Amino acid sequence: MTSADLNAKLGIELKTGGGSFKRGNDASFATPPLPSRLRLHVPTHLFRHPIHLSSFILHPFFIHPSSLIPHPFFLCLMSLLLLSACGPPAPREHQFSGETMATTYHVKVIAALDARAIRQLSSDIQHTLDTIDQKMSTYKPNSELSRFNQHLSTGPFPVSQDMLEVFDIALQISEQTGGAYDITIGPLVNAFGFGPEHPAAPPTEVEIEQLRQRVNYRYIKINRDAGTLQKSRPDVYCDLSSIAQGFGTDAVVKLLEARGIHDYMVEVSGEVRALGKNASGQPWQIAIEKPIASGRAIERVVPLSGKSLATSGDYRNYYEENGVRVSHTLDARTGRPITHKLASISVIHDECTWADAYATALNVLGPEEGYHFAVEHHLPALFINHTPNGFEEKATPDFQSYLGTSSVPSVQSISPES
């Protein structure tokens, strides 16, 4: 602590002089007596144990040794001040945000971090997400995924552990949904203009049927022991946009927990995972948006700790062709954009990778088939459906039990303007 720090805390300024000193009669050198007009007299009634402060002397050039005899009261006071000023920082909220995967991220943590730790954590979060983007982006020609897509061979292709994990989860959900969710949908995603390619018009019926021949999750084989992926058809093209952002959220969580941070909220492109409590000492309050294209409004607020929440919907990413809305979500079973009445689906899961992929899968399955799937697999899910009178909410039993007494009714109608 500097003298300026002490001045700010105590309103005093300490001036130091040269030379060594010891206390009382043990002084190693003597100083000639000074004129009495320079002696400092302080009323001794201010102290519980009076001392003769008349022996404290001011000197124009240096401090008299006897003036440095501290009273026990001052020793305790100075020790407490030094401990409070030089000790570790108190836990408080720190926020980090940036861009990644052609979207944005926001991270909040409650932790005791000094300036150096804050800078390092900010850099590490960005690096973690950028590394995943470099592995799983279809927009980067040299990404790991792009190189796999360009690998026009049925031979094994070595990939990272991150890629193996994401492919493994994706293929499990594909199997569970009977192929409704399928990461080999990439050729059709590109054909409809939702990938790195931008065709002049949507594909024709003939083109759709031709592209569908390249789409089947069973064309992908995983060899975890060898660390490879393998295609059974060389022109298979995978798209991980339905799962990579959730995986990025989980990756940041692993980073935070490795640093001993256990109160956090991580959000990447709306996919959220939280643990512990926020700055108010409450579980993190996560908003589910109303599925409206114009403006942004809150539909529900979910208290979240130790869980992830992901949402998929048709109200942001779409275009209209000849008066018909073309959704960015495609059904791999038909090769076409979804056309049902499900506006938004939110899923709670332990891990955000699973929540992200399940949200897309349920969005493909739709309001009826998706709801039955979620109930059968005990997924906490909130469906918001289009109706002639606005929107209708439909929550699975596991979603209601997660919210407890603050849960919504099983079915509740709401107006999109409300």
| Average pLDDT for runs of 10 along the chain of length 418 | 38 31 34 40 40 37 49 57 60 95 96 96 98 97 98 97 98 97 96 88 94 97 97 97 97 98 97 96 92 81 95 73 75 91 95 98 96 97 92 93 52 38
Give the span between the Cα atoms of 276 and 304, in whole angstroms: 9
DSSP 46: G
Phi, psi of 254, rounded to the nearest 5 degrees: -60, -40
Question: Going by C-beta distance under 8 Å and a sequence separation of 6 or more, which residues neighbour residue 78?
Answer: 70
Torsion of CA 364, 366, 369, 375, to 10 degrees: 90
Burial label, 232 (beta-carbon count in 10 A; 0-12, 13-18, 19+)? exposed
pTM of the model: 0.77
Q: Distance between CA 228 and CA 103 in Å, rounded?
A: 29
Torsion of CA 115, 117, 118, 120, to 10 degrees: 120
CA distance 418 to 414: 7
Q: Which of 250, 284, 249, 252 is nearest to 270 (CA)?
A: 249
Strand ranges for 17-125 from DSSP E = 92-100, 103-111
Residues 308 and 155: their CA atoms lie apart, in Å, by 36
Q: What are 209's two structure tokens?
A: 């049927």
Among 132, 185, 129, residue whose Cα is nearest residue 160: 132
Angstrom distance (rounded) from CA 16 to CA 116: 31
Q: In 3-state terms, what secondary structure has residue 318? A: strand
Strand 271-275 with 220-223, pairing: unpaired
pLDDT tens digits for range 162-193: 999 999 999 999 999 999 999 999 999 999 88
